[in-house]
Structure 1
């Protein structure tokens, strides 16, 4: 084909203002210019397909803004009883005969920067010298050996994590596990003022691009060829979860329930606590199941959204999705997930320039699948590690490791304790320096530590323990200390006897 290959346009959209039409036209021209900077034909074809998807998202963002498209709050209701199945009602329905139809995917696009680490978050050590990735691989490998099946393990990487992940997974060669990887899309960031793409060429610095959220899973899985490969191997169900959720293990009752009910999409929900009030929740919207995120809620209704009484559940992002249904919704262009605008800033020269990135969440796709519903699961299936506070929890004696799965100590009297570590512990390296030996916390209810506090070996924490160190001071808790229902403040260095 001679001349410039213009990005395909979607079906005609009626814009409500000339400004949105102009912005759309300028963006399309800029994307065409970007595509012209790709020299490799195969790479160019892939890039143009990604830019088609980005352009469709951008146009939808403009038209939604112009029309003021928002959910009508008066039509939002808590889910009906038939839209959420309780786990106890299906928990006895165990059978391994369907494992041959299963594939497992971890969302592996995130970096460990929020915890002060370099590289993919999945390689942070979380337990007994093993990383998130190690534990996930161990779980699937054990499953395959135990039931003599071949459940494939899939990683959806981003351009931030792909290279490092490919190097790391080489060590699993020879294990009884088939590991596949693919990349989610690489979309251009948008200048907030001009609504034009930040990158000028395909090879522009990484800061000019962004991975567009895990809602991109469907298109990227399809475009990678992995979807067709799984279907050709007889796989029917994809279990998707965040790589940092250590509670997201394969569950036989949910798998069997999904296939028995011919559901195309199941979202695992757990009971909302006051710590989860900002998490997405499942709702009934004119009889349809939808995911409602706090970003979609009008300001005057935010407190109502956070209510534990009205919205009892929140989304764990453990999802069970029918593979052929994914193929159908992608090929028929059915997906229209709610767009999450994410405003950031990037450094250009000596200035910080505001930019916009348009993202989608995989949970928002629930309304596009047949027979979709939620399963209200026990809290043990939601054990994310987002902070060093979470890391202390999963490293402690409260959990033991069994075939890659964390199991809570049977003597524990209730749910996991609430742990809050201050800014001195934000980086994993600082956390490990101050708490090199995990305290015993089986009888702990609540722990707060702020300031420069170090814990010695064999420290036991019980009840409510609050340790607050003044700025510029230091508190050392010596080896073998037993702290129960105490508040320690100021500056303190306790000497061992």
Structure 2
């Protein structure tokens, strides 16, 4: 691949940056090289500009309808042979800080006292036991989650699955003022560094030695998904389709709702399938991009990728994914971190496709409002799989918006004596100091609590609301 072309000023920046980075002993030579290459590409202005007139809607051959996939094999031996080609990789680099937790997000309790990681392990244990196969689990950690995860996985030492961990790269944050690494400014703690996005999964697999080890075991495909997506489970129909059609890359997409308008979508562009992110969209077309009429699908970040293809492309340094600049501030210093996303790699793989999957395969838990949904009677739990309750007739989940009092998991849990029944709920908005009692059923089309500072309590069907001169709006209320 051609190297980035830089003007003299930017070339001087890179020369100074190389010198500074060479003295950072906390990271490997591979990480230093990867970082310098990423910064060089960024300075070269290599970002791809999308010609809006060339965008075409993908055909069913490119974005395959899930219902058109062949059924799963009936022969257990055939199923075992398929599964023995597979590796499950969960992106485990995120902390639960958004939800008030300090460790890896994957150890937040989701349901019945089980964490995300517990559920993932139970699911794979179940597959291995049922079919006598060997599906290993890989966890891609960041330097933020590595130590805690190493301790946590010890409790699975007697399980029937191999669990492997590796770290994504650790890059220094860039000081915007002079383009120097933040650790060279005396910020030697974790705040001086960042993990460069999940696009780093491909070089991370190769640099860690895990990729060659897996190929040596006869593994062919890796299923990559966020650890907090409870819908991202192994699907034999998808795996069978990819093996039979020799597709090197598959992105699961699902129908877009108004809640997903900013999510990336698949397009046909100059004869290839490509991920289109909102950051690439010209300003005059942003509203068109957000439309659920023209762009009807979005990326779930459930990815299936051929391992040999990853090795080929990483060794050729061919995975030039779009760079996502992410400005931050650390102790008053403006810094920049450059990131990439794994979905953007789709255009580099041969016979890459999307599969338009049911919404049930996208069940992320990003906030406590999502936690309320998965802990409620909307779902049941079987063999580690979170399954939708058939009693819910509406195909869409209720929209739930909880106020800042519910943001942290500990506060969320303390405000519910038990999680309400919400099978027949359409939407719920809670603002203010609200506490829910036990045994509550919410069955309503629109329910809002709008509250202001207070001096005394009233009870409404065991929902406790402090208020004085409270304005409480309940529309179409139906509480049992």
With the shorter chain as reference, the TM-score category is over 0.9
Match for residue 6 of structure 1? none
Match for residue 466 of structure 1? 447
**1:200 matches 2:184:** yes
Secondary structure in 2 aligned to 1:439?
Answer: coil
Partner Cα distance (1:236, 1:475) in 2: 61
Q: 5+ unaligned residues in a row in structure 1: which ranges?
A: 1-9, 482-486, 492-497
**1:52 matches 2:33:** yes
- TM-score of the pair, normalised by structure 2: 0.92
Match of 2:5 among 14, 28, 38: 14
Match of 1:33 among 17, 23, 26: 23
Q: How does 1:147-296 map to 2 (within 5 A)?
A: 147-200=131-184, 204-296=188-280
Secondary structure in 1 aligned to 2:426?
Answer: strand
Partner Cα distance (2:153, 2:195) in 1: 21
Partner Cα distance (1:194, 1:345) in 2: 15
* Larger deviation, residues 460-469 vs 404-413: 460-469
- Cα distance, 1:273 vs structure 2: 0.5
- Cα distance, 1:298 vs structure 2: 2.0
Q: Deviations over 1:4-23 (max 9, x none)?
A: xxxxxx965432x3322222
Q: Is the 8 A contact 1:119 1:161 kept in 2?
A: yes
Partner Cα distance (1:364, 1:275) in 2: 22
Q: Is the 8 A contact 1:93 1:257 kept in 2?
A: no
Secondary structure in 1 aligned to 2:445?
Answer: strand
Partner Cα distance (1:479, 1:293) in 2: 45
Secondary structure in 1 aligned to 2:84?
Answer: helix
Q: 1:202 to 1:222 in 2, by over 3 A?
A: farther
Partner Cα distance (1:187, 1:148) in 2: 41
- Cα distance, 1:354 vs structure 2: 1.0
Q: How does 1:70-109 map to 2 (within 5 A)?
A: 70-90=49-69, 92-94=71-73, 96=79, 97-109=81-93
Q: 1:13 to 1:266 in 2, by over 3 A?
A: closer
**1:324 matches 2:308:** yes
Q: 1:175 to 1:259 in 2, by over 3 A?
A: same
Q: How many residues align?
A: 461
Q: Is the 8 A contact 1:239 1:318 kept in 2?
A: yes
Q: 5+ unaligned residues in a row in structure 2: which ranges?
A: 465-469, 475-480
Q: 1:83 to 1:341 in 2, by over 3 A?
A: same
**1:449 matches 2:430:** yes
Match for residue 138 of structure 1? 122
Partner Cα distance (1:398, 1:195) in 2: 50
Partner Cα distance (2:351, 2:389) in 1: 37
Secondary structure in 2 aligned to 1:305?
Answer: helix
Q: 1:235 to 1:221 in 2, by over 3 A?
A: same
Q: What RMSD over aligned residues (CA atoms) do the two structures have, in Å?
A: 2.0
Match of 1:355 among 335, 339, 342: 335
Partner Cα distance (2:439, 2:281) in 1: 46
* Larger deviation, residues 135-144 vs 79-88: 79-88
**1:413 matches 2:393:** yes
Q: Is the 8 A contact 1:457 1:480 kept in 2?
A: no
Match for residue 23 of structure 1? 13
Secondary structure in 2 aligned to 1:14?
Answer: coil
Q: Is the 8 A contact 2:434 2:463 kept in 1?
A: no
Q: Is the 8 A contact 1:237 1:322 kept in 2?
A: yes
- Cα distance, 1:463 vs structure 2: 2.4
Partner Cα distance (2:73, 2:344) in 1: 29
- TM-score of the pair, normalised by structure 1: 0.89
**1:433 matches 2:414:** yes
Q: How does 1:333-352 map to 2 (within 5 A)?
A: 333-347=317-331, 352=332
Secondary structure in 2 aligned to 1:199?
Answer: helix
- Cα distance, 1:93 vs structure 2: 4.1
Q: Deviations over 1:9-63 (max 9, x none)?
A: x965432x332222222211211232xxx3xxxx7xx611101001100000000
Match for residue 489 of structure 1? 472
Match for residue 478 of structure 2? none
Q: Is the 8 A contact 2:228 2:364 kept in 1?
A: yes
Secondary structure in 1 aligned to 2:181?
Answer: coil
Q: Is the 8 A contact 2:451 2:471 kept in 1?
A: no
* Larger deviation, residues 136-145 vs 23-32: 23-32
Q: 1:201 to 1:149 in 2, by over 3 A?
A: farther
Match of 1:391 among 346, 371, 384: 371
